[in-house]
Structures are given as C-alpha cells and as structure tokens.
Structure 1
Amino acid sequence: MKKLLAILSIVPIIFLSGCWSSREINTMAIVIGIGIDKTESGYLVTVQVLNQKAIASKKPVDEPSVILYSEEGKNLEEIMRRFTTKTSSILYNAHLRIVVIGEDVAKDGIKDILDFFARGHEFRTDFFFVITKDTTANRVLSILTPFEGVPGMKMFDSLKNSEDTWASTKSIRIVELVNDILADGKNPVITGVEVTDEITDNKMATTSIDALKQTQVTNRTKYFGLGAFKKDKLVGWLDEDESKGYNYIIGNVKETVGYAEYGQKVKITYEVISAKSEIKADLVNGKPTMNVKIDIIANIGTVDGEFDVSKKENEKILSDIAEKKVKLICKKVLNKTQKDLKTDIFEFGEVIHREYPKVWEKIKDDWNNEFVNIPVKITVDVKINQLGQITKPFFIKEKE
C-alpha cells in the first residue's frame, strides 16, 4: 500500500515539469519592430531587438537601447529562420509593437505579409502596421531617439497619441486590416511614416551613438497622413487635411485642433473635444445615395484678430465658419477618393449592404465604378462649448 501511494505521488510530478516550449529570457532576442522592404529576389527584413544589456543596466551605458539585424530572402518565413545565423539568441515576437511596410511592398500588395503574421503562433494581434513614404522600412527602424527610449515603442505610443489628439492618423491592427481587405464594400487605410531632416542644437536623434554626440542634423520619424488601399494594394496618399476629413467622416475623431477664417483678418482656432458621425444610405429613383451627419463639440482656443466672441450675434458666426471648414476638408477627401484614387475607404458599400441588401447584390460586383459616381451629402453641426478663460482679446479697443 505504501509503495502504491509513493508511486501515485510521483506520477503528477512528471506532468508538472513545466511548459515544453518555455525559454530562458537571456536566450531570447525580444523583437519590438519589424521592417519589410522589397528587393529584386523577395524581401529585406529588418528587426529591431531590445538591447537587454542597455535596458537592464542601472548605470548609464554608452549603447543604444536596440540592436538592428537585417536579412534578405524570398519569403518572410525563410528570412526569419535565417536570422539564427546572425545571433545566438532566438527571435521572440510576442512583444512586437510595430510593423513597418515599405512603400514599394505596399504598392505590390500585402496579402502574403498579412498571411505570415496571422499564421505565426508567436505573434499577438495588438501591434500596429504603418507604411513608409519616400523612404524604406530599414531606414525608419534605424532612427534612434535616445530621449524617448525604445524607438519601436515610441512609434507605437506616438501613433496612438496622434490618433487620439490630432486626428490625422489611424492605428490599425491585423484583425481590422484583414477584415477591411476581405470586405466587399470597404478598403483599408494605413498611416504613413517618413524620415525628416531637422537642424537642432539638442542632438535629439540620429542613426549612431557616435554621431549622436557630434551632429546637429537630426533624422526623425514623423507620421504623414494616410495611405489609401484598394484591397491589399496601396493606390495613393491622403495629406493631413484629407486624413482629418476621412476620420471625421468615419467617426474616428476623439480630439483635435482646427482653425477657420472669418474674413481676411480674423482666424479662430477650435479645440474639438468630441466628434460623432453617422453614415446612412438612401435610395433615389432606385439608386443609392449617401448621407453623412457629423456632430462636433468644440471650445474656442485662440482668436487672432479683432473678433469679440462674447457678443450674442457672433455665436452663430463661430459655429458657421467651423462647420464650413470641416465640411470643406470632408469634401476634399471625398473628391480625392472618388475622382483620383477610386477606392471606397469610408465603408459606404458596407452601409448599403446592411440597409439595402437587394440593391447591394446588384451593384457589388461593379462597386468601384458605382462608388466614384455616388452622390454624398455632408451635414456638419458644431456646438461651441466654452469660449475660453477670456471672451475678448486684450487688444480690442472699446469704441467710444
């Protein structure tokens, strides 16, 4: 009996020996960013890996926070395996924050890339995709920003912050991106990133530690508008105003700042604190039309010029000029996508599909041609919430 009890007590230990796929942290290269560029034979992949020595040190070290590795190959799976020839550590992708896709790759199509990230068991679904504009993914990931810690983390945080407070960008994860490509009546957008050259006395960023100490020419990454896709291929770019217009239309504006002019001498800056959008479809003579209703709540930020916001008769003027400005940038992006890019990035097709499924069945196979001619009515309503700490600019002279 005692022997039987001893055996029974040992058996569970065999099955509690730990996770078979576990790894020691010092054997892993923690990947924060992945860049993908086009080559003649396939892809150039750049991985941005945490420099654990620099991160873990309690004392200042003369080393960057990340290490870069690059490798070429015909497909992504092959390339990721080849990295084992360059580092003794195994690439660990569970903490990936940003995937930077080269502009040339995006123009050719990103289905194969998405398939790789969707199938990989180590990849989570919470990282963001961006695409380069007039540069390469390798160069973007090579930019060091020492005062902001890990570059890939900085790109992740910056994208989310700019989406929340400026509204000319849009964060997108793999699930949403795949769904947008597969949908019949919608196409995706992905935020663009570029490299800018700035002259500064602060030595804010550069591509090497030695140069960081010497140069006053700064290379920095900066998000630039949105890349518009038709299915999985990049077809063109939206500038900053067009990108804001897009986000207003789809209801993706949380906060932002905008300005409107009254006459030639007065400029009003608005702080948008809330924005909502509703997109509906109607039928006119059996043909679909779109109605976009945008409701905005804003505070007055600054008043440049002689304009007394406290006067009752000026309240409506404030709302009217703001409404006209928002409507203008919304029409600008609609014109760009309908006449130039010819791609429905607003989900108009999906709205028609939901509200008039029988009509959608008739037009879905030719939706690209239908979209470019569909009438769109935009209505904007701006409510002014606060006029600011003062209601009258200091320099306005009282009339005698």
Structure 2
Amino acid sequence: MNKLNAMLILVMCTLILAACWDQIEIEERAFIFGMAIDAADKTEVKLTQQLVVPENMATVAANAGGGGKAYRNLSSTGKTIYEINLDLAKQASRSIDSTHLGVILVSEDIMKQPGRFKEHFDVFFREKRMRRGIKLAVTNGLAEDLLYVEAEHEKIPAEYIKNLLENKKRLDVTDLVRIGDIDEKLYEETSFPLPYLKKISSTVIDYEGIAIYNGKEERMVGVLKGDDAKALSYIRGLKNNGSINTEIDGGPMTIEILTIKRKITLTNNDPNNLQFSIKIQIKGAIADQSGWENLKEYEVLNKFYKKTSEKIEEMVKNTINKLQNDFQTDAMGLGEYLNRYYPKIWKEVQDEWDNGKNYFSKSDIDCEVKIVIEEPGSINKTTSK
C-alpha cells in the first residue's frame, strides 16, 4: 500500500513539473493591447501592433505624469497578417502575447476595397487564443495614426480607444462591435454597421459615425453621421442610452433615452413587393429644458409628444432612404428578420437581397415612432401677474 501511495505521489509531481516546462516568465513577454491594419499597396497590408512591456507599465505607474512611454508600436508589411505577425515577433525580442488584445482598427481604405477586409480578418477567427470580445472599429485615414494618440488620462493609446468604444453614454449612435459579432455575418455575407473613428488631434479621437459594410459586395459602402447615425440605432432597437435634442415653443430641450423598443412586421410577403412596418417606442427623461412650458399640462405634453415623434420619424425616414437608395445596403437587420421568421421568403430573396435585383431597396418600409417621457415634471414655468 505504501509503495502504491509513493508511486501516485511521484506521478502527480511529474505531471505538475511537466505542466510548467514551457512557461514563459511575465518579464519575457510583450503584451499586445491594440492592432491597426492599413493598406500598403494593392496586394500588401501594413500591420501595426501596440506592445506593452510589464516593467515599463510599473515604472510609469510609479512615476505618474513623468518618465518614458508605457508602450511601443511595431509595424511591418506583407501579403498576409500571419506572415507579418511572424516578422513582428522577431522585432519584439520577446514572446508576443495577444491575450490582452483589446481593440483592432481597420482603415477606411482597406474596408472600401472589395474582399480585402474579409480576406485579412480570417486569421483572427482561426487563432484559438484570440478572444471573441476584442473591439473592432473603422478609421477615417490611417488606422496606425490612432495608435499614436496620447490622451491626457490614459498612458496607452489602445486602452484609450477601447474605453472610448465601451463608453455607452458617448456611443449614442451604434452598439459596440466585437469580432465575435461579425464572424457569422462575414461567413453568411450579411451586411452590418461598424463604429467609425477619426483622429482630431494628437490627444483626441472622436466618434465620427457609423460605417456601413455590404456583406455581398464585401466592402464598406458609406458612412452615416449625426442624426442619420442616431436614427439607425433607433431602427435597430439596440440602444438603451444616448440623447435626443428637440425643442418646445422655440426653447431647446434634451431628452435622455432610457429604453428603445423596436417591432418589425412583414405586412406584404410578395417577394417582388415586400412591405415592412417598423414601430419604435422610446422611453426617456428630460435632461435639460430651457423653455417656459410646464410639461405636466395635458395639452403641452401632447404637443411635445407629437412634435418630438414627428422629428424622430423624419430622422428615421431619411436614414432608411439613404440605406435603400444611396448605399443600397441593409444595415437595419430586415434580412435577419426574414431569415428568422420567414425562412421560405428569405431563401427566395437572400442571394440578391442587397445586391443584384436588390429586394431590400425595392421594399416599402413604413415607420411609426412613439415617445414617452417618465416624470415630465415642471422645470421652468412662468406665473402671470
């Protein structure tokens, strides 16, 4: 019995020691926090990796506001991302670790060239250690440039960008996009929206709008900005925050969005004359009112509801018009709705949904908006004398 116990202990010790044989010390690792993909020419791409070395991070943290940078950027060009990764590993002089990769930026130039984004992004889906929660965004101009922006309160540009994308209050025009969200969409050639970022200065990056990617054409076809971008988020019904600027009797007012509910109904199932009804219900709260109206008064509140609903309906219709006629791309999710609830119809139209015959562009889409304010209150009110 003692011999058996001794043998078991020996085997367990062997397994424990064997499990650590290829362990790499943290000091010997270079962690990737961000990546940028740009076009080098028609056949090659430029990959920039933002590396953070642990001991440099500790030095910067201990000497806040001074000292050297907590990161370094390495770049190389090649025909494939895999090939470039091998080259960058040689430059790094350390073992490159992608477990902390938080954001991947892709230039507008790459996105607009048919097939290039899909071709070069395939490697990220095949890499087993690549986390599905990595954020993805399109950039105005070179993606690499954003990895050199040094924000006031962040030591690492990639971390600043990741936090910018995660900031729901600031992101009132589209939902956060992770690489795990688009794997299936690329495979099924489904169109989708992406965050669109722009470098404003050496210290600031701005959320510029929404890039529209056509799944069939495998390219970015345009950008929605301002009210058009906001309206797309209302149509998709995915946002539960953000704000709406409106007015009542000439006085400006800001409404904080609490919830958005969207309901799509297919009202005509003829593939050559598809008709959809989209009903959007927005629940909000008054964040700021500069007018002199008391919104607790029935007539005033009804007038406000009507005017605000009409304004949002106009925004939504303008966005639908751009998607159907200018971009001819379904970034609204109507194709996904048909696929889920009307698979027979979808099978008939999917090959030319937003290309070729473009059933999407030919569809009749009606929208109705209802807005409800919680606790309208009485912020500003005059008293007659």
Identity score, percent: 23
Q: CA deviation at 1:234?
A: 0.8
Query: What's the TM-score once normalised by structure 1's chain length?
Result: 0.87
Distance 1:160 1:10, change over 3 A: same
Q: How does 1:335-350 map to 2 (within 5 A)?
A: 335-350=321-336
1:90 CA drift (Å): 1.5
1:149 equivalent in alignment to 2:155? yes
* CA gap 1:188/1:20 in 2 versus in 1, 3 angstroms: farther
Contact 2:289–2:379 at 8 Å: present in 1 too?
no
Structure 2: distance between partners of 1:165 and 1:277:
22
SS state at 2:353 partner:
helix
- Is this contact kept in 2: 1:245–1:333, CA < 8 A? yes
- 1:53 corresponds in structure 2 to 55
Of 243-252 and 45-54, the range deviating more from structure 2: 45-54
Which residue in the other structure is 1:365 paired with?
A: 351
Task: List, as ranges, runs of 4+ consecutive aligned residues in structure 1 with deviation greater than 4 Å.
Answer: 1-8
TM-aligned CA distance change 1:273 to 1:2, over 3 Å: closer
Q: How does 1:1-400 map to 2 (within 5 A)?
A: 6-17=6-17, 18-19=19-20, 21-40=22-41, 41-57=43-59, 58-60=62-64, 61-108=66-113, 109-133=116-140, 135-162=141-168, 164=169, 166-183=171-188, 186-197=190-201, 206=202, 219-231=203-215, 232-262=218-248, 265-283=250-268, 287-368=273-354, 369-388=358-377, 390-393=378-381, 396=382, 398-400=383-385
CA distance in 1, matches of 2:20, 2:128: 15
Equivalent position amino acid for 2:49 in 1:
V
Letter in 2 for 1:95: H
Check conservation: 1:130, 1:190, Cα contact below 8 A: yes
- Contact kept in structure 2, 1:310 and 1:391, CA below 8 Å: no
Name the SS of the counterpart of 2:288 in structure 1. strand
CA offsets 1:190-243 (integer angstroms, 9 cap, x no match):
10111113xxxxxxxx4xxxxxxxxxxxx4111211100111311110112112
Q: List per-residue Cα deviations over 1:350-386 (Å, max 9, x = no partner).
A: 2223333332232222212111121111111111112
Q: How far apart, CA to CA, are the structure 2 residues paired with 1:224 and 1:273?
A: 23
Give the Cα separation in 1 of the matches to 2:315 and 2:20: 54
In the TM superposition, what is the alpha-carbon distance from 1:22 to its structure 2 partner? 3.0
Alpha-carbon distance between aligned partners in 2 of 1:254 and 1:301, rounded to the nearest angstrom: 15
Q: Which blocks of at least 5 consecutive residues in structure 2 are unaligned?
A: none
Give yes or no for contact 1:44–1:71 (8 Å, CA) kept in 2.
Answer: yes
Aligned-residue offset at 1:346: 1.3
For residues 9 and 304 of structure 1, do their structure 2 counterparts lie closer, same or farther at Cα, with a shift above 3 Å needed? closer
In structure 2, distance between residues paired with 1:370 and 1:120: 36
Cα pair distance change 1:151/1:4, threshold 3 Å: same
Q: Is the 8 A contact 1:169 1:223 kept in 2?
A: no
Hey, what's the Cα distance between the residues in 2 that align with 1:148 and 1:168? 24
- Once residues 99 and 302 of structure 2 are traced to their aligned partners in structure 1, the CA distance between those partners, rounded to angstroms, is 53
Task: Please tell me whether the aligned partners of residues 165 and 171 of structure 2 are also in contact (alpha carbons under 8 angstroms).
Answer: no
Q: Cα–Cα, structure 1 residues 23 and 359, in superposed 2: closer, same or farther, change >3 Å? A: same
> How many residue pairs are counted as aligned between the two chains?
372
- Distance in 2 separating the partners of 1:7 and 1:269: 74
Q: Secondary structure at the match of 1:243?
A: helix
How far apart are 1:387 and its partner, in Å? Answer: 2.4
Deviation of the 1:301 alpha carbon: 2.3
**Structure 1 residues without counterparts, runs of 5 or longer:** 198-205, 207-218
| Cα pair 2:106 2:143 within 8 Å, conserved | yes
- Secondary structure at the aligned position of 1:147 is classed as coil
Matched to 2:371, the amino acid is V
- Cα distance in 1 for residues equivalent to 2:346 and 2:54: 54
**Deviation (angstroms), 1:176:** 1.3
Q: CA deviation at 1:256?
A: 1.4
Note the alpha carbon deviations across 1:35-87, whole angstroms, 9 max, x for none: 01011241111111114233213234411222111111121111111113322
TM-score normalised to the size of structure 2? 0.90
